[in-house]
Structure 1
Amino acid sequence: MSLSQNPVNILLVDDNVSNLTILKEVLDRPEVNIITSNVPGEVVDICLAEDISIALIDVKMPGLSGFELLNQIKQNPLTENVVVILMTGYSMSSEEVFLGLSSGAVDYLFKPLDMHITNAKITSLLTLVNYQREVEKKNKELEFYQKDLFQAVEEAKKGKEIKENFLANMSHEIRTPLNAIVGITNLLKTSELDDQQKEMIRLMDFSSHALLGIVNDVLESFQIDAGKINLDVTAIDVTALFMSVADTMRPLAVEKGLVLHHNIIGEVPAWVKADALRLNQILMNLINNAIKFTVAGQVVVTLKVGEINDGRTALEFTVKDSGLGIPENAIKEIFERFEQVQDKSWQKFGGTGLGLSIVKRLAELMGGSITVNSVLGEGTSFIFTALFEHANDLVTEIEQPLSPTADELSDLSHVRVLLVEDNVINQFVAIRILQQWNVKVDCALNGLEAFHKVAAQKYDLVLMDTHMPVMNGIESTRKIRTELPEGKNNIPIISFSASVIEHEQKEALDAGVNDFLEKPFHPQILHQKIVSMTKGRANPSAG
């Protein structure tokens, strides 16, 4: 710690002027500024005016003793930090010594003064004062830095909120028209079409889902940055998940003229603890990437069992393609956001540059890692490795891909739904889908209108959009739950929203929403939720 270079002000107080003169000469040195006074009544004012750090005060003075002066200095909040040494020329009792020290003096000097001892004590006190000054200086700097840090944190929070609000709005604004496109596409699929029209619908379906994938990647990347991705670890049949992913992606490979093989090497544990959704996301992203950048040949997906230790197994998932290969100097870059291989042969495949970045960060979140082996012109292998804890004592089923059946999409003519949606096109799409199952549909254009309709009529379920004019879906849900009578206030409500921002979902849950349905949605998911939400309600819409 460096000591302060500013002179230290020392005050000498004695009614004997000769004593003051001698003491001043003895203590004089470059690093101090000595001030003297033989008038006790002006000492406090001098301390204030001259910023006194050390005061040597005679005990026995006419009018005002050294003890009384000491009390005045210590009782004033502006001078209480002055370091005081009492000087006395007569023998003092232990009670008197105790009185001075307990009143705030740090030491005594006895007359006649030993100048060597006096100088040594002043030198020690000067060191102490300079350390105190340095501490005060650092404290002030710390306060300044704390203010700057606080301001920076507040600005960061504000920037984060602005970014989150922007992404929420972007999600809503993009997903809303996408919902219309996907919905109309689904409706057209059920129409009578010739081969050319079927092909156009297929292309429209592919393009809309590709655009939806880009939106999801942007939001997923933001949520990972914000630390809002939490793993939902359950017991899963990793073999079934692996084979399901391979089977799901195989048609995409076949459509491009490629062959997709899958292999399992070793004895895979029956059940492991993992986040099925995130593991599925990693594998599908890697396989989709391999298919995308492979012009001819094959994609081989392998699950290999590694070391088994302490109830955990190392599993290695490899996705190998016969594609273009990646230049060695570009391998590190491909995992960075928005980075792509700067080569014309790669750029023609397009993409956002987010997919592999998300895969890498999800792998790290799962405690695993991603490595790459690639040879230009021969192909690339992406290897995801992680340790998985065994979960043989739990029983869980892998969620199977949706496949419409007559039983699942059963007639729902007994159900009456209130659709709360301000977008006319999305309203049209939802009504047509619901009418395919003979659902009775009523509409409201905002949350306030929805509240009044639920209050006046009987419904089995409410499909509630989130972002609407007049009153949004969260406010409307809260109003229904808190202001309507029993029997009305417990109506099932599905939040029907184009926004996937986490805090909005939490607000909706807190308001009383029962479930969520993201836009764009798969008709079968909506059907399943309606069946689940209305099951067991005894003639809810009767009367």
Structure 2
Amino acid sequence: MRSSLSRRLLQLALLPAFVFALIMVAYFALTTVERANLNFQAQVDTLTTSTLPAMESGLLYFDEEYLRRTSQVLLNAPFVRAAKVLDAAGNPIVEQGAQLSLPLLSGPPGEVHRLIQDTWIRVEIPIRATVLRHQLPEGYPDLLGWLVVDYSINDVQLENYRLITLGAVVAVAGLVLIWLLALRLIRPIVQPFHQTIDTLRAIKDGHYSERVALETSGELRRLGEGVNAMADSLQHAQRDMQQSVDQATQDLHQTLEALEIQNIQLGNARRQAQEASEAKTQFLANMSHEIRTPLNGVLGFARLLAKTDLDTRQKDYLQTIQRSSESLLTIINDILDFLKLESGKLELEQRPMHLRDVIEDVMDLLGPLAQDKDLELVTLVYEDVPLRAFGDPLRLRQVLTNLVGNAIKFTTAGHVAVRLMLEQATEQTMHLRFSVSDTGPGMSREQQNRLFSAFSQADASTSRRFGGTGLGLVICQRLIEQMHGHIGVESVQGEGSTFWFTLDLDIDHQAIAAQPADTLLAGSHVLVLEPHELSRTVLGHRLEQWGMVVHDLTVLSDEQALSASEQRPRLAILTCDAQHPDRLRRAAQQCQRHGIPIVLLTRHNEIRAELNDIAPLVDVHSAKPIRYSRLYAICTELLGRALPELNTETPPANNQPRILVVDDNATNRKLLTALLGDYGITPSEAEDGAQAMACISQQSFDLVFMDIQMPVMDGITATKEIRRHERPDEHLPVIALTAHALPEEEERLRHSGFDDYITKPIDEAQLLNAVFQWTGVELVPLTAPPTLDAGPAVGSAPSMSVSTATDKTVRAAKSPDESGPVDITLALRRAGNKPDLARDMFQGLLEQIQADRTELAQLHADKARSALLDRVHALHGLTRYCGVPVLEQAVRELEVNLKNTQCSEVPAALNRVLEAMAEVEWWSTHRDWQPFFASS
């Protein structure tokens, strides 16, 4: 800044002087040079013309010597280089000085000629007879000769250069003088600016006490005063700001201290909340197990009670107990699923599945519920949908069950339809849309907005008609989102609702390629009587897919249908019609007269007395909704065709599944063998994972029940080995047998390769459900128990009932020993109401107690925690089947504490186990317990 200002002022001072000096030097140089040239020319002319009279006389008299002397006079001049005298013809007479061999210059004769070069000038002057003309004869020419003189101009040029240099020096000296004078004059002007700039820079750096010295006057003084005033204002503002900053800093320190204290409190609260959440999850998981155990007992004994003779009021009470128990079980399952989804511990599987089978499983399960409300359940699977895909069938089935269940619950009349359609497909994946439509009351926009919120329902009033926790749709939404899909609802109040969700699934091309074409029924004529329009459309579409020719008895008379084609119908599919029973009866009689096989489709709640006159005419009786594969098998069998191997997930129902039971506890194996034996199944047995692998390598199985903790090879390792040796086109279902159903353990089991798990104690209904779900076989007891009606319909869901206990067993269950360390009622129930099995398991427990009492204490003293955990786990599995609730609870707590390596409650828990074992031993030695387990 300083150099810039000084430079500008100097430029303003020197630039005019420099321009003026330059002009003056130029003018002076030009004038001097011009004057010098004129002087030189005048000298040349004077000198030349002065010798012409002498030259005239010399030439007239041809006096060469005279001419020479005259030429020498010219050479004596300082700037003459050479002189030459020529005759009139141009021939040289006298030559003096530097001789130039140049011809005469061309030009008009008799005139002066000049030639100017860089360093010399040649002048050619004619010599005429002027002075002595009168002495010449008449007619003598005037031109006597030529005088040629060469003049040097070096001296003239040097003089010009000297003059120009002198002018330049004078100009430079003047400029220097002006520059020095300008510096002297600029300093008083620049110095206040520099001081002002330094002051402003100091103020900028925070030195607000700096001031400009006011030593000048005029504008510079006013500038300094303005800068000083600004510095005063900034100093006051800085002082105020510093005070504010100090106050704010103090307040901030106090706030930070408060925040730090609050963060510590929040951290403690968060840690406590996490611990509480984990404890809540653990508690709910444990409570679910503890609640399910008595609840399964309630359901089991309710089913047993249903098989006895009851009056109408008792039946009504019993149905209320069953419905309430099932609702409670559903609520428990929903809460556990919601907890797993909230904690992010729910993992999805990717395994082969048949989409139609998944939907039909849901329809089979909920069919009786819909039929109780006189609703029609319909499944529409579009033809272009690839039915073989990879996904999680269990979770997909859970979503559909919830949506269909809600539709049934809120619909009072009409139908519920499940549709599956293909929206988009690539070579490897497909985009599917599932929808569940009903003819219920519909919902308003406000109700729709509340649907997918936890613990919220469309009708949130205290007087709402329908129950539930409000978790079902939230669980569905979370499951669909975890499958990377979308879920939504479309509803118009008064016109029904449609819940839909979309999924992207990988196509199982290998399974689709292996599926045979449905060509065995092509060309066969079939009569169809279905009063419900949508169900009739779906049934006709199914039959037409197989190439059959359908004749609709709903719009045609019997005779018209029988004569509609040249080929007589070979099969009739009739549905019970409560509105027009006579039409059904006439159609059945017409078919019987013409020898047409009849398939009768009924609801589970149809009154059997109304069908007594039709039953003898029916060839096959099946419940609605009928499965796709079941209908195909019936049609093929009745038409006398060879039934091909159906490429579905379920094997034929007439083949018993091959089951392998793997458990190191002989009592547990004995219980499973006994339960399955009632249904005609003799399972293979293995004591550990290594024996199980050997059995699987020697023969094929349809299902494996696998214990977790076993010697030699545990269940997790064995399952991983099974999965590692499986071929891509094979999958052996493996179900874990575990005493705990905690979320983290469930996810660990599924991640290890298990398909499902069953919690101990094993309930008979739970066992039958697992066999049906993973093999598709409906287990039927060898001796059918008495029922309230004529028995379940063909093709219905498997019965969940258990064997009826004998009178002696019931009397034993009512013994007064239930409050002691042994509960006979519980022992019988967990043994499947088999007294002999219950007695053997209790005897095995007593032997195990005698062997373990001293060994458990010794293992704890030796700090052999792993060996102690194995023995406690084996004892825990045994206590769950022997009706010893106090010992069972104590052993369970000890096992949980042993699994928690940081737990310090092991000694106290072990003492409680030893005390409970002593109480059981004392009870067995002081009571005659054998009659309690006497079989009939």
Q: Distance in 2 between matches of 1:378 and 1:193?
A: 44
**Higher helix share goes to which structure?**
2
1:277 is displaced (CA, Å) by 1.1
Q: 2:384 matched to 1:251?
A: no
Equivalent position to 1:273, from 380, 386, 390: 390
- Corresponding residue number in structure 2 for 1:518: 759
- In 1: Cα distance, 2:510 partner to 2:653 partner: 32
Residues 407-486 of structure 1 aligned to structure 2 (within 5 Å):
407-408=656-657, 417-419=666-668, 433=675, 436=678, 481=711
Aligned to 2:476: 359
Determine the structure 2 residue equivalent to 1:350. Answer: 467
| Alpha-carbon distance, 1:367 to partner | 1.7
Q: Name the counterpart of 1:299.
A: 416
1: CA distance, partners of 2:499 / 2:447: 14
Q: Which amino acid aligns with 2:759?
A: E
Deviation at 1:317, TM superposition (A): 1.4
Asked whether 1:330 is paired with 2:571, we answer: no
Cα 1:345–1:288, aligned 2, differ >3 Å: closer, same or farther? farther
Q: Is structure 2 residue 735 aligned with structure 1 residue 501?
A: no
Deviation at 1:385, TM superposition (A): 2.0
Cα shift readout 1:222-268 (whole Å, capped 9, x = no counterpart): 11111111111223222332344334433321222111122123500
CA distance in 1, matches of 2:414, 2:445: 22
Q: What is the aligned partner in structure 2 of residue 219 from structure 1?
A: 336
Residue 289, structure 1, aligned to residue 406, structure 2:
yes
Spell out, residue by residue over 1:378-421, the C-alpha distance to the aligned partner (whole angstroms, 9 max, x if none): 321111222223332468987559x9978359999xx984259x
SS of 1:418's equivalent? helix
CA–CA distance in structure 1, aligned partners of residues 321 and 276 of structure 2:
37
CA spacing shift, 1:121–1:323, aligned 2, 3 Å: closer
Task: Report the 3-state secondary structure (helix = DSSP H, G, I; strand = E; otherwise coil) of the residue aligned with 1:337.
Answer: coil
For residues 119-134 of structure 1, what are the structure 2 equivalents within 5 Å? none
Q: Structure 1 residues 116 and 352 mapped into 2: Cα distance closer, same or farther (>3 Å)?
A: closer
- 1:262 and 2:511 are equivalent in the alignment: no
Taking the aligned partners of 2:361 and 2:769, their CA distance within structure 1 comes to: 21
Residue in 1 aligned with 2:437?
A: 320
One-letter identity of the residue aligned with 1:233: Q
- SS of the residue corresponding to residue 329 of structure 2 reads helix
Q: 1:400 to 1:163 in 2, by over 3 A?
A: farther
- Give the partner amino acid of 2:472: G
> Which amino acid is the alignment partner of residue 223 of structure 1?
K
Q: Deviations over 1:449-505 (max 9, x none)?
A: xxxxxxxxx99599xxxxxxxxxxxxx986x74xxx899xx99996454x5322244
Aligned residue type for 1:352: T
Secondary structure at the counterpart of residue 338 of structure 1: coil
Task: Measure the CA separation in 1 of the matches of 2:369 and 2:481.
Answer: 28
Per-residue CA shift, 1:29-60, capped at 9, x if unaligned?
A: xxxxxxxxxxxxxxxxxxxxxxxxxxxxxxxx
Identity %: 31
State the 1:218 CA deviation: 0.9
Which string of whole-angstrom CA distances, capped at 9 and with x for unpartnered residues, describes residues 321-351 of structure 1?
1112222211111221221233779812212
Map Cα deviations across residues 107-158 of structure 1 (whole Å, 9 max, x no partner): xxxxxxx99998877779x9xxx9xx99x98997897786566435423321
The residue matched to 1:236 in structure 2 has which SS? strand
Matches of 2:364 and 2:770 in 1, distance apart? 26
CA distance in 2, matches of 1:274, 1:491: 24
Q: Distance in 1 between matches of 2:323 and 2:465?
A: 18
Of 282, 285, 289 in structure 2, the residue corresponding to residue 172 of structure 1 is 289
Q: Give the TM-score normalised by the residue count of structure 1.
A: 0.53
Q: Secondary structure at the match of 1:372?
A: strand
In the alignment, is the contact (CA less than 8 A) between 2:491 and 2:498 conserved in 1? Answer: yes
Task: Determine the C-alpha separation between the residues in 2 that align with 1:309 and 1:517.
Answer: 39
Shift of 1:373: 2.0
1:388 maps to 505
Helix, strand or coil at the partner of 2:466? coil
2:351 aligned residue:
234
- 2: distance between equivalents of 1:521 and 1:416? 14
Structure 1 residue 188, shift from structure 2 partner: 5.3
| Superposition map of 1:134-145 within 5 A | none
The Cα offsets for residues 144-182 of structure 1, whole Å up to 9 and x where unpaired, read as 786566435423321211221231232123112112123
Shift of 1:192: 6.1
| Cα distance in 2 for residues equivalent to 1:477 and 1:165 | 20
* More relative contact order, 1 or 2 (CA 8 Å, 6+ apart): 1
Is the 1:183–1:430 Cα contact (8 Å) retained in structure 2?
Answer: no
> Given residue 261 of structure 1, which amino acid in structure 2 is its aligned partner?
V
**3-state DSSP class of the match of 1:169?**
helix
Root-mean-square deviation over aligned CA pairs: 5.4
- Select the structure that is richer in strand: 1
Q: Which amino acid aligns with 1:323?
A: G
Structure 2, unaligned stretches of length 5 or more? 1-197, 209-237, 239-244, 515-646, 690-706, 720-734, 775-843, 845-936
Contact 2:354–2:649 under 8 Å retained in 1: no
Counterpart residue identity of residue 216, structure 1: N
Aligned partner letter, 2:335: V
Question: Structure 2: how far apart are the matches of 1:343 and 1:154?
Answer: 34
Q: C-alpha separation between the residues in 1 aligned to 2:428 and 2:660?
A: 48
Find the residue that maps to 1:516 and give its secondary structure.
strand
| Counterpart residue identity of residue 516, structure 1 | Y
Tell me if the contact between 1:409 and 1:524 (Cα under 8 Å) persists in the aligned partners.
no
The CA distance in 2 between the partners of 1:224 and 1:434, in whole Å, is 35
Shift of residue 366, structure 1, vs aligned partner: 1.6
Change (3 A) 1:202 1:496: farther
Q: Which amino acid aligns with 1:418?
A: T
Cα pair 1:360 1:370 within 8 Å, conserved: yes
Take 1:262 and 1:220, find their aligned partners in 2: how far apart are those partners? 27
> Within 2, Cα distance between the matches of 1:246 and 1:158?
41
The question of whether the paired residues in 1 share the 8 Å contact of 2:437 and 2:497 is answered with yes
Q: Secondary structure at the match of 1:347?
A: coil
Question: Which residue matches 1:368?
Answer: 485
Residue 368 of structure 2 aligns with an amino acid whose one-letter code is: P
The structure-2 alpha-carbon separation of the partners of 1:312 and 1:146, relative to structure 1 and needing over 3 Å to count, comes to farther
Give secondary structure in 2 for the equivalent of 1:383: strand
Answer whether contact 1:325 1:375 (CA < 8 A) is retained: yes
Q: Which amino acid aligns with 1:262?
A: T
Pick closer, same or farther for the CA change 1:153–1:224 going to 2, 3 Å.
Answer: same
Counterpart of 2:667, as a letter, is L
Counterpart CA distance in 2 for 1:182 and 1:171 is 15
Change (3 A) 1:399 1:339: farther
| Distance in 1 separating the partners of 2:385 and 2:356 | 7
| Stretches of structure 1 lacking an aligned partner (at least 5 in a row) | 1-113, 421-428, 441-457, 463-475, 533-540
C-alpha distance in structure 2 between counterparts of 1:494 and 1:234, whole Å: 18
What CA distance in whole angstroms lies between the structure 1 residues aligned with 2:424 and 2:767?
Answer: 43
Tell me what 2:279 maps to. Answer: 162
DSSP-derived class of the 1:331 partner = helix
The question of whether the paired residues in 2 share the 8 Å contact of 1:410 and 1:437 is answered with no
